[in-house]
Amino acid sequence: MQVAQQIRDILTTEFSPEKLEILDDSSKHAGHSGADPRGESHFSVLVVSKKFEGENRVNRQRLVYIALDQLLKDRVHALALKTMTPAEYAAALAQK
C-alpha cells in the first residue's frame, strides 16, 4: 500500500476529518538528506477535525504524530502539518 494511502487511512480512523488533504512533496526533496529513493517520504497534510477543538497547535500536531508514529519511524522523513477545527477552516475559507 502506498504511504499516502496509509496516512489517509490512519488519520481518517483517528480523527474522522471533515477535510483531509495529503500532498506528496517528495519530488521537491530528491537528493536531499532524508529523501528516500522509493519516494513518498515528505508530505504536507491538512486535517480539519472536531477532535482538535480545545487543543492548542502543539497538542494537535502531537496527536497526529502519535497516530502516525510507526510511519514516521519507518518511512516518512518530513511532515508539514496544518491542523484546524471545522470553525477555523470555515473562517479561513471566508477570508479568501
List domains and CATH numbers for the chain: 3-95 (3.30.300.90)
Does residue 77 have a pLDDT over 90?
Answer: no
Walk across the sheet containing 19-24 and list its strands. 19-24, 42-48, 78-84
13 burial level (CB within 10 Å; 0-12, 13-18, 19+): exposed
Condensed to tens digits (0 to 9), the pLDDT of residues 27-68 reads 664 555 655 555 577 899 999 999 999 999 999 999 999 999
Q: Judging by DSSP bridges, how do beta strands 78-84 and 19-24 pair with one another?
A: unpaired
